Structure formats: structure tokens, C-alpha cells
Amino acid sequence: MGDATVATVYEVLIPESLVVLASDGVHDYVEHDHLEDLLHAHAQDPQGLAEALVNAGDWGTGGYRDDATAVALRRG
């Protein structure tokens, strides 16, 4: 997660065994350190990780929260 970037990618070689795709409703509303903690805690459970990421977002002022979507994929 320390090397994570936000980008639009059409084709990419992914050497890691766990891939996480998340909308801005996740990466804009969850602190980076908390994202890393969740990644480590749920590294063996992609479904649990995706659910934890979506549920981790803070509600902004005025009760607004952007839509949150996360997909976690494990290769191998």
C-alpha cells in the first residue's frame, strides 16, 4: 500500500498476489494507515477485505458519504 497510486490504467502487469481496486469513496474517506491495517488484517480473505474497505469510510460533515466500492482479488 505504501506505493499505491490513483490512476486510470488500460493494461498493467501486476506482480503481487493481492490486487485491490477501490473507488474514491474508499480512498478519499479512509486514512492511508487504516487502509494498510485492513489490508494486513484481511490479506487472506479478499471478500472480507472488500467489505471492510467499504465499511471503513467516514461520513463527512453534514452526513454525506461518497459511494464506496472495493474489489479485492487474490491470484494463485
State the pLDDT at residue 14.
Answer: 66
- The pTM (predicted TM-score) of the whole model is 0.74
pLDDT-derived band of residue 16, with 50, 70 and 90 as boundaries?
Answer: confident
State the pLDDT at residue 11.
Answer: 65
The values of phi and psi at residue 58, to 5°, are -80, 145
Q: Is the pLDDT of residue 2 over 90?
A: no
Instruction: Write out pLDDT tens, residues 34-68.
Output: 999 999 999 899 999 999 999 997 766 677 777 88
Q: What is the mean pLDDT of the chain?
A: 82
Asked whether 21 and 66 are in contact (CB, 8 A), the reply is no
